[in-house]
Amino acid sequence: MLPQESMQSGGSQRQDESGEEQTLLNRDEQFHLWIENIADIITVFKADGTIFYQSASITRLLGWAVEERVGQNIFTNPITHPDDIQAQQAFLIDAINNPDKVVTSTFRLLRKDGTFCYIEAIARNLLHHPLVQGIVSTYRDITERMELEKRKEEFIRAASHELRAPITNLKGHTQVLKMMLADHDAMEEPVEYLSIMDKQIDRLTRLINDLLDVTKIRASMMDYKDTLFEVDPFVRDLVILLQHNSSHHTLRFSGESHATLCADKDRLAQVIINLVMNAIKYSPRGRPIDITVTAEDDRVLIRVRDYGKGIPELYLQRIFERFYRVPDTDNDNRSGLGIGLYVAREIVARHHGEIQVESQPGEGSTFTVALPINT
């Protein structure tokens, strides 16, 4: 190669390298602009909770300058609402202990003007990644959503209270009419109609009570009155009572635990009634419902099994969510608000127990309530 050609080749190579470097710089600047102008706050923590990166969105959403928060430790100098500090710290600890797991939480953060806003936080532990070496978290302002949710729950609570009085009156008048017709040896048909009305009123009462319980749970106002009672006769009596209200299914009680619980008897009855009524609702006429009680590993297990349509595996993890209903694939239009199982799970959790479900489409479902036995 001639010297002149060599020089031209070398110059061309340097120009190419210079162009690639400029492209990379442009891409870095572009990425930086994306991050700094994203609506959510992006925070990167060290393993000890120290913030070593904070996006500019914190100024727009909370009013704090980036330099006011970088270097701060959320364990020792948080801007979290006092009632939510434990939730935020548990959120970070969960991320620290579970690499690559996506963890979520909701808590309130302090704005610089002294007000608080609700934050939905999502984090992932990338401490092991050599280019990150931190826990990456995004904070989204959900204050407006939470306020709307609060207004909705206040409406539900007010409406439920307003409905209680007329429903109670209807119940009373229905029972009086049934007694009057019975005293006068009336035809069976009117009495049957009143019995149907009575059952529908009971169903409506349960729906109203469930709605009220949802608002109480959300406001941490659920009331409990614990007493000591024997489990086996308690469940057996409930099954007998529920059998009187179900003429199309046979409720079969079996097993024994010889266990005693210190718990809210009425709340646990609410759980069992909900499970049995669901089993009845989703079982064809004539199919039995099995309710069993056993003791195992210092726990009492109450199982409710039906032989109905079952629940597809896709929906099993969501059926305990508030207002969630399994999609109606059979067009059977079964009613319900999707709150009974949510309330049941909360009641069982309060008693330090757990509720689980096993199901196979076409074979039915088994719900198991496990509660620690008092010793």
- The string of DSSP codes covering 66-121 is HHHHTT-BTTTS--B-GGGHHHHHHHHHHHHHSTT-EEEEEEEEE-TTS-EEEEEE
Q: What pLDDT is attached to residue 228?
A: 94
CB 178 within 8 A of CB 193: no
Residue at 48: amino acid letter: D
Tens-place pLDDT, residues 233-274: 999 999 999 998 788 899 999 999 999 999 999 999 999 999
Sheet holding 289-296, edge to edge: 251-254, 289-296, 299-305, 364-372, 354-360
Quick one: pLDDT band at residue 284, thresholds 50, 70, 90? Answer: confident
Tens-place pLDDT, residues 288-345: 999 999 999 899 999 999 999 889 888 888 899 888 888 766 655 556 678 889 999 9
Comparing C-alpha atoms, which of 309, 342, 343, 345 is closest to residue 327? 309
Quick one: pLDDT band at residue 10, thresholds 50, 70, 90? Answer: low
Comparing C-alpha atoms, which of 78, 72, 79 is closest to residue 52? 72
Quick one: pLDDT band at residue 190, thresholds 50, 70, 90? Answer: confident
Q: What is the mean pLDDT of residues 90-117?
A: 90
Quick one: pLDDT band at residue 204, thresholds 50, 70, 90? Answer: confident
Quick one: pLDDT band at residue 2, thresholds 50, 70, 90? Answer: very low
Q: What pLDDT is attached to residue 27?
A: 67
Residue at 63: amino acid letter: G
Tens-place pLDDT, residues 121-167: 999 999 888 888 899 999 999 999 888 888 888 888 788 878 888 88
Q: What pLDDT is attached to residue 331?
A: 52
Sole residue written with tokens 């407006």: 144
pTM of the model: 0.64
Sheet holding 51-54, edge to edge: 51-54, 41-45, 134-141, 116-126, 102-110
Across 34-43, 111-120, 163-172, least confident range: 34-43
Q: What is the mean pLDDT of residues 2-18?
A: 54
Quick one: pLDDT band at residue 14, thresholds 50, 70, 90? Answer: low
19 has a pLDDT exceeding 70: no
Sole residue written with tokens 């400029």: 22
DSSP string, 108-174: EEE-TTS-EEEEEEEEEEETT-TTT-EEEEEEEE-HHHHHHHHHHHHHHHHHHHHHHHHHHHHHHHH
Which tokens sit at 77?
A: 């100098």
Across 170-174, 186-190, 306-310, least confident range: 186-190
Q: What pLDDT is attached to residue 153?
A: 80
Phi, psi of 103 (to 5 degrees): -110, 150
Compare 308 and 179 and report the one with higher pLDDT. 308
Tens-place pLDDT, residues 21-77: 666 566 666 666 666 777 789 999 898 889 999 888 899 889 999 999 999 998 888
Q: What pLDDT is attached to residue 76?
A: 86
β-bridge pairing 116-126 and 260-264: unpaired
Q: How many residues does the chain have?
A: 375
